[in-house]
Amino acid sequence: MKDLVLPLKREYFEAIRDGKKPEEYRLCNEYWTKRLPSPFGIYDRIVLTLGYPARDDHARRLVLPWNGYTIKTITHPHFGPAPVSVFAICVRAAASIGSGKESAS
């Protein structure tokens, strides 16, 4: 099983955990284009972490099924004042917080 691990700032981690943020953005650049070659291709799960937690710190991890991404143009303070193209990674599914497993709903 291949995981995409994304460390996040607290505000974004908590918004995703609480169901308020349906997508996580990564800039469309060479680095992310290599890691996300196909919207539904190479990952089974996405692991969102609050910063860089210790391996056994399960409270700071959200493990979700991989649901792909879309490419969007957005304006966001994190990327500066101009519109940019981003990978909008779907993080909508119910998370299993800290268990390392997907929830069985």
Question: What does the CA dihedral 81, 15, 12, 88 come to, rounded to 10 degrees?
Answer: -60
Q: Tell me: the pLDDT tens digits for 6-23? A: 999 999 999 999 999 999
What's the one-letter identity of residue 2? K
Q: Rounded to whole angstroms, how far apart are CA atoms 96 and 80?
A: 33
Mean pLDDT of the chain: 86
pTM summary value: 0.81
Is residue 72 scored above 50 in pLDDT?
Answer: yes
Is residue 68 scored above 80 in pLDDT?
Answer: yes
Q: Tell me: the pLDDT tens digits for 27-55? A: 999 999 988 987 767 899 999 999 999 99
Q: Distance of CA 35 to CAs 69, 87, 105, Å?
A: 12, 11, 29
Residue range 67-82: mean pLDDT, rounded: 93
- Domains detected in the chain: 3-97 (2.30.130)
